[in-house]
Amino acid sequence: MTPRQIVEKLASFPNRGVATSHDIPVLEFLTGLFTGRQVARESFKTPKTYISVVWWLIGGLVTGLLTLNFLPVAGLFLTLVFVTMAMLYFNWYASPVTGFPPLVKSYNLVVKTENNHTSKPKKLILMAHWDTAPISVLYRPEMVGNFRQSLKISLFLMIAAQFIAILQFLTPSNFVMLIGNILAFYFLLQGVIGTIDYFRLGYSNGASDNATGVAAAIATAEKLWNKNLENLEVELVLTGAEEVGMIGARAYMKKHYTEFHKGTYLLNFDTLGNGNLKIITQTGSWSNIVYDNDLIQIAKQAVTEVPALKNVSTGAWHTADFDSVWFQRAGIPSLTLAALDTNGRMPNIHRPTDILSNVDFLPMEKAIILAEKIGEHLNNT
């Protein structure tokens, strides 16, 4: 199948939400693409969507703030626990809240070539998430430009809530309590705004986010496998539950960490169906996560060598994060390829308009060219 046909097939499912009726058929379709390869379907536990995570965090925080009214010590304890978990989750660190019920089962698809008994000095992991996201009003064009700023404001107000709790515990007063109650109301409102479209509209179709990334990762893997590279082992990992908080990628890393060595690299593909192809060098919400490693250098070099990649440049993305974040933080040279429009946005993502008719295949085609080149470079140097 061509990458374009893979996108078309994936987009023919209404959505690819985790633990919906579509996820197994999607995984079966993907598995069927790899005759003669080793395909493992690796399961892990995850919340079904980030919606339950967000409501645990808001519910705990609001309960903590309201409890301050009559039992300050319990209120202080609750706010401390939930503010800490929220800070971790929204800064894309592992947070215990992602283990809170209800949990469902999701899957990563790990694909290798049969003949990798001989260990090669380098290993390239090609990654893309197959799942699609709940539709959210926060991704409407007029809102998404402020995503990072509003997230930062919410995180700041969570820290403020923590101080309110400490203050109310030490020197209780009606004024402090009033501010605490107003904050509780604000968080409730944020929760409703952030999640209401999921209850109204369900999941996005995900033609761009991330059928295009899956197709690009598969096409790159096939091209590199067919070259029988001498020094580079190539592994394809299609992750689930990225949209819950990069849960599948973390599960894969935990399971396979011992197989990684200093010649291990991660190349992630996310949302390549609109705008211009970018080598993402900065992500993060409160703090900046800066990607600056061998893989980035190789990608920049490759761009100068291939005329078709002439307009590919570096980019930043601060609206949620990518599967690569765990690997980047663990010191594994990592790179995400994504496409951004001239405003630095990903049009249509997490909206009902992320459908096939709005996909431009050019950034995906370029990503495949670039990724193949990166693989060749890794093999040759």
| Candidate ranges 108-116, 230-238, 270-278, 353-361; the one touching Zn ion (CB under 5 A) | 270-278
> Which residues in the 202-261 window bind Zn ion by CB under 5 A?
209-210
State the minimum distance, in angstroms, from the CB of residue 209 to Zn ion: 4
Gap between the Cα atoms of 323 and 29, Å rounded: 22
The residue (of 79 and 268) whose beta carbon lies closer to Zn ion is 268
Gap between the Cα atoms of 126 and 4, Å rounded: 18
The residue (of 180 and 240) whose beta carbon lies closer to Zn ion is 240
- Out of 131, 270, 321, 354, the only residue in the binding site for Zn ion (CB under 5 A) is 270
Mark residues 183-212: x for contact with Zn ion by CB under 5 A, - for none: --------------------------xx--
State the minimum distance, in angstroms, from the CB of residue 271 to Zn ion: 5
Strand partners, 362: none
> Which residues in the 124-183 window bind Zn ion by CB under 5 A?
none
The residue (of 52 and 210) whose beta carbon lies closer to Zn ion is 210
The residue (of 67 and 132) whose beta carbon lies closer to Zn ion is 132
With beta carbons less than 8 A apart as the criterion, state whether 326 and 336 touch: no
The residue (of 23 and 270) whose beta carbon lies closer to Zn ion is 270
3-state SS, residue 86: helix
With beta carbons less than 8 A apart as the criterion, state whether 370 and 307 touch: no
With beta carbons less than 8 A apart as the criterion, state whether 182 and 189 touch: no
Give the binding-site size for Zn ion (rule: CB under 5 A).
Answer: 3
The residue (of 184 and 364) whose beta carbon lies closer to Zn ion is 364
Q: Which of 6, 18, 1 minimizes the C-alpha distance to 242? A: 18
The encoded tokens of residue 102 equal 């209800």
Number of H helices, E strands in the chain: 13, 9
The residue (of 162 and 210) whose beta carbon lies closer to Zn ion is 210
State the minimum distance, in angstroms, from the CB of residue 24 to Zn ion: 20
State the minimum distance, in angstroms, from the CB of residue 273 to Zn ion: 11
Mark residues 294-333: x for contact with Zn ion by CB under 5 A, - for none: ----------------------------------------
Q: How far apart, in Å, are the Cα atoms of 323 and each of 238, 268, 291?
A: 10, 7, 13
Gap between the Cα atoms of 318 and 321, Å rounded: 7
List all residues 6 or more positions away from 61 whose beta carbon is below 8 Å from its beta carbon. Answer: 78, 79, 82, 83, 86, 158, 161, 184, 187
Interface residue list for Zn ion (CB under 5 A): 209-210, 270
